Chain A
Amino acid sequence: MKWTMSRREAVTGILFVLPWILGCSLFFIRPFFMSIYYSLTKYDVLGSPQWVGMKNYTDLLWHDPETWKAIFVTFKFAFLNVPATLLTALFFAVLLNQKVKGLSLWRTLFYLPAVIPGVASAVLWRLMFSESGILNKALGIFGVAPFHWLENEATVLPAFVIMNCFAAGTGIVLYLGALQGVPTNLYESAEIDGAGRFVRFTRITLPMISPIVLFNLITSIIANLQAFDQAYIMTSNNNDIQSWGNPNGATYFIFLKLYKAAFVDFQFGYAAAISWVLFAIIAVFAALIFRTSQAWVYYENMNAKGR
């Protein structure tokens, strides 16, 4: 009797998780292996894939003049954007955590820009970064001559970063939640021991929220190495292939190259090879950060258990 009960339970359970099993095999496991295969072939979708071995990879890494520039540009963007958005979010979260009155109002004001859909905000900022845009107007006060931020090789990536800092609201809310979870008695006893504000911040606040910082750091590095939308909408004219990643390739990110290889040149094998190179880069960065995180991330539960 008991045996039949548990057998029925098992069947019901498997039926409930079946959608995920099917979805995962069809749209995750299968493409994962197919992607390896495609990357070793020449494939334009119309015909069948032709085996070329490692040619796509050697072409990509040694013969394609665009590759290293694209990797360099992507790194440059990630190195500017990840710290800038992280620090912006942390700064405003700490500011709002000072027991201010009307917290929900302030939080709303800081959070709202982050809920504007990416495309809407991209077209908005394309206007704001133009020669007659508001940014040039603000700089004009200090006597800076107006210029088009997105058409200037030196300012286009900083422009993207500025735009992303305005959307830091999600991070602000995340950090604010973490900050409010720090037990206040820690601060009180530190204050009695004579710890100043700076010491309290570096010795209590930062360690206590470091797991959330780690989480946010990893997800934003992964997202930034795959940057696409901004470059596609703001600096690539899809009627003019030559203009992609303008100005002068300064926003020609790896993912833009991947998209172009697949959907403009119809080289799906080559595009798959690019996706694996990008994957390897992401994996290296994620592993590096996990490795170093043991030194700077503090897990309270582990210490409490005396491990």
Chain B
Amino acid sequence: MAQIQAVRAAGSTGRKRTMKKMLERSLLYVIIAFFSVIFMIPFLWMVSAALQSDMYTLGGQWFKQFLWSNFAQAFGQKDFKFLLALRNSAYYTVFATLFFTVSSVLVAYGFSFFRFPFRDKLFFFLLATMMIPSTVMFIPNYVMFANWQWTGTYLPLLIPALGGGPGTIFLLRQFMLTLSISLFESAKIDGANSLTILWRIVLPNIKAPLILVVIQQVSAHWSDFFGPLMYVGNDAATRTLSVALSTFNRVFYVQWSYIMCIALFMAMPPVILYFVSQRFLMQDFVLSATEK
């Protein structure tokens, strides 16, 4: 009799426990869902403001209209010169990413697989440059580019990209060093030259971090505001989308729906890149990066 009661008591505490656990779990989901909605509100507000007339937006209402023609009108504004700005942004993004990635790969390769005098000291210096914020460089750099008459063009943004970036070089080198050196040595004995080895053996084995670097670079240059503002400036023929947008949200006849159409358009490439790259960006990469 006592035994049965004990079993029953155990059963009911067990049930209580699972009840408590279930309650906790559902509360957790409610909290997460609530905050994820909160996090998405600005984005939804942007979509809504792009698609309705400003009257509703400024009245604090959303999703009252779906005027898809707003996009065409926003892109067709005469003084904004959307197509030119888009072309400039695309030009800057593509070439800066290309230059930066290619030279970072080459430099990382040089530091990983070749022995030369002062190599480790040089690499240590490269790491040290990462610690110094670029604040103090930018006035002399600007002066130099101004003296070379490069301001107003994209050269001050593209040419330095040819030097690669210390952070990226460091990252790629870390991955290159995990490759077995024997593969490299045997290819060398077979008479393959260094560039062939880089192309055929090294690059296929570091695809994931390489894709990550490209994605980071594309997003960074596409969103870059300070660089284009400072070096290229606010001329309608040469400015990027980001600079044009920052100018137009200040004009006295500001049309919020047009501004939001262009902001939404600017947000799209990073969002798409995120979905394309999700599996590279998240599991493997963040995990392995934090383990190191």
Q: Which residues of A contact B (CB under 8 A)?
A: 6, 9-17, 19-24, 26-28, 30-32, 34-35, 38, 43, 45, 92, 95-96, 98, 100, 104, 106-113, 115-128, 130, 132-134, 136-137, 166, 169, 173-174, 176-178, 180-181, 212, 222, 226, 228-229, 232-233, 237-239, 255, 258-259, 262-263, 268, 271-272, 275-276, 278-279, 282, 286
* Interface residue stretch chosen among B6-14, B75-83, B114-122, B204-212: B114-122
Say if the beta carbon of B250 comes within 8 Å of chain A.
Answer: yes
State the majority secondary structure of interface residues on A. Answer: helix
- List the B side residues contacting A120 at CB < 8 Å: 46, 223, 242, 245, 262-264, 266-267
Known contacts A104-B282, A117-B270; is-contact A271 B164 (Cβ 8 Å): no
**Residue contact A20 to B42, C-beta cutoff 8 Å:** no
Closest to B105 in A: A16
Inter-subunit contact A275/B138 (CB<8 Å): yes
Q: Which residue of A is nearest B141, CB measured?
A: A31
Query: With A20-B163, A120-B245, A133-B60 as given contacts, are A92 and B141 in contact (CB-CB < 8 Å)?
Result: no
Give Cα A172 to B29, complex, Å.
Answer: 17
B80 smallest CB distance to A (angstroms): 13
Instruction: Say if the beta carbon of B43 comes within 8 Å of chain A.
Output: yes
Chain B 94-136 interface residues, beta-carbon cutoff 8 Å to A: 103, 106-107, 109-111, 113-117, 119, 122, 126, 129, 131-133, 135-136
**How far, in whole Å, are A127 and B256 apart by their CA atoms in the complex?**
8
How far in angstroms is the closest Cβ of chain B from A15?
7
B83 to chain A, nearest CB (A): 18
Q: Which of A45, A115, A134, A282 contacts B45 (CB 8 A)?
A: A134
B266 touches A115 (CB 8 A): no
Tell whether, in the assembled complex, residue A14 and residue B135 are in contact, meaning their CB atoms are under 8 Å apart: no
Q: Is the CB of B109 within 8 A of A123?
A: no
Q: Judge whether A117 and B246 touch: CB under 8 Å.
A: no
Contact with A along B184-198 (1 / 0, CB 8 A): 000000000010000
Taking the complex as formed, is B249 at the interface, i.e. its CB lies under 8 A from any CB of chain A? yes
Q: Mark B48-75, 1 if CB is under 8 A from A, else 0.
A: 0100000001111010000000000000
Whether the pair B40, A112 counts as a contact (CB closer than 8 A) is yes
Are B271 and A115 in contact, with the CB atoms below 8 A?
yes
Are B114 and A10 closer than 8 Å at their CB atoms?
yes
Task: Check A117 against B242 for contact (C-beta < 8 Å).
Answer: yes
Task: Please report the C-alpha to C-alpha distance between residue A13 and residue B32 in the assembled complex, in whole angstroms.
Answer: 51
| Contacts known (A137-B60, A166-B39, A237-B250); A181 close to B160, Cβ less than 8 A | no
Q: In the complex, are the beta carbons of B223 and A278 less than 8 A apart?
A: no
Q: Does B222 contact A (CB under 8 A)?
A: yes
| B117 CB contact (under 8 Å) in A10, A45, A136, A272 | A10
Q: What residues of B have a CB within 8 angstroms of the CB of A178 in the complex?
A: 290
Cβ-defined contact, B45 with A279, below 8 A: no
A sample of 18 cross-chain residue pairs with beta-carbon separation below 8 angstroms, ordered by A number, consists of: A10-B117, A14-B110, A16-B194, A17-B111, A20-B163, A31-B140, A95-B35, A112-B43, A115-B274, A116-B43, A122-B246, A124-B46, A127-B45, A166-B39, A166-B42, A177-B286, A268-B142, A268-B143
- Does the CB pair A12–B114 fall under 8 Å? yes
Contact assessment for B286 and A279 in the assembled complex, using a CB-CB cutoff below 8 Å: no
A256 to chain B, nearest CB (A): 12
The reply to whether A132 and B274 form a contact with Cβ atoms under 8 Å apart is no
CB distance from B215 to the nearest CB of A (A): 10
A10 to B119, CA, bound (A): 9
Known: A177-B290, A228-B226, A263-B230. A35 touches B137 (CB 8 A): yes
Contact string against A for B residues 240-267, beta-carbon threshold 8 Å, 1 for contact and 0 otherwise: 0011011101100000100110111011
A296 to B220, CA, bound (A): 32
Excluding A9-B114, A118-B223, 4 further A-B contacts by CB distance (< 8 Å) are A108-B274, A120-B263, A121-B267, A237-B250
Residue in B39, B141, B146, B164 with the greatest tally of chain A CB atoms within 10 Å: B39
Asked if A31 and B137 make an inter-chain contact with CB atoms under 8 angstroms apart, the answer reads yes
CA of A259 to CA of B225, assembled, Å: 14
B36 contacts A110, C-beta separation under 8 Å: yes
The docked-state distance in angstroms from the alpha carbon of A21 to that of B147 is 23
Contacting A at CB under 8 A, from B161-215, are 162-164, 166, 169, 194
Do residues B28 and A239 form an inter-chain contact, with CB atoms below 8 A?
no
CB contacts (< 8 Å) of B126 on chain A: these are: 20, 24
Interface pair B287/A279, CB less than 8 Å apart: no
A30 closest partner in B (C-beta): B140
- Residues A35 and B39 in contact, CB atoms below 8 Å apart: no
Q: Given A123-B245, A177-B290, are A45 and B143 neighbors across the interface (CB < 8 Å)?
A: yes
Evaluate contact between B222 and A117: CB separation under 8 angstroms. Answer: yes
**Interface residue? B31 (CB, 8 A):** yes
Q: Does B144 contact A (CB under 8 A)?
A: yes
Most chain A CB within 10 A, of B162, B219, B246, is at: B246
Q: Which residues of A contact B287 (CB under 8 A)?
A: 177, 180-181
B20-36, CB under 8 A of A: which get 1 and which 0?
00000000110110011
Within 8 Å CB of B119, what residues of A? 13
Does B1 reach chain A (CB closer than 8 Å)? Answer: no
B136 contacts A35, CB within 8 Å?
Answer: yes
